[in-house]
Amino acid sequence: MLNMPRILLSRLGRHAAPAYAISIFLGLALPQLAAAMRPVIPVTIFIFIMLAFARMNLPGIRAVAAAPKKLGFVLLASCLVPPVVGYLVLHAPWFRDLDPGIQLAIAMMASAPPLMAAPVYALLLGFENSLALATLVLGMVVVPLTAPTFTSLLAGADVPISPLALAERLFYFVGSGMLGGLVLRKLAGSERLQSVKLELDGLGVLMFFLFAIAAMDGVLAATLATPGLMLLMLALSTGFSALNFAIAYQLFRSFDFNDRFSASICIGLRNMGLLVAPIISILPANTFLYFALAQIPIYVAPVVLQALKARLEKA
| Mean of pLDDT values over 259-282 | 88
Within 8 A by CB and 6+ apart from 50, the residues are 177, 180, 181, 184
Q: Is the model more confident about 160 or about 203?
A: 203
Q: How many CB atoms are located within 10 Å of the residue 145 CB? A: 14
The per-residue pLDDT for 109 is 95
Q: By the 8 A CB rule, do 138 and 75 touch?
A: yes
- CB burial class (10 A; 0-12, 13-18, 19+) of residue 277? buried
> Which amino acid, 132?
A
- Residue 267, pLDDT > 60, answer yes
- Residue 252, pLDDT > 90, answer yes
Candidate CATH numbers 3.40.50.2000, 3.30.450.20, 1.20.1530.20, 3.40.630.30; the one for domain 19-307: 1.20.1530.20
Break the chain into its structural domains and give their ranges.
19-307
- Residue 115, pLDDT > 70, answer yes
| Mean of pLDDT values over 120-142 | 84
| Mean of pLDDT values over 47-74 | 82
- CB burial class (10 A; 0-12, 13-18, 19+) of residue 41? buried
- Residue 4, pLDDT > 70, answer no
Strand, coil or helix: 39: coil
Of 100-104, 154-158, 213-217, least confident by mean pLDDT is: 154-158
CA atoms within 13 A on the CB side of 56: 25
| Mean of pLDDT values over 255-272 | 94
H-type alpha helices, the chain = 4-14, 16-28, 31-37, 40-54, 58-65, 68-90, 100-111, 118-124, 130-155, 163-188, 190-195, 197-215, 219-225, 227-251, 257-268, 272-276, 285-314
Q: Is the model more confident about 254 or about 64?
A: 254
| Mean of pLDDT values over 28-35 | 77
Q: Is the model more confident about 221 or about 242?
A: 242
Tell me the whole-structure pTM to 2 decimals: 0.83
List C-alpha distances in Å: 232 to 192, 236, 242, 269, 290. 46, 6, 15, 19, 9
| Mean of pLDDT values over 87-97 | 86
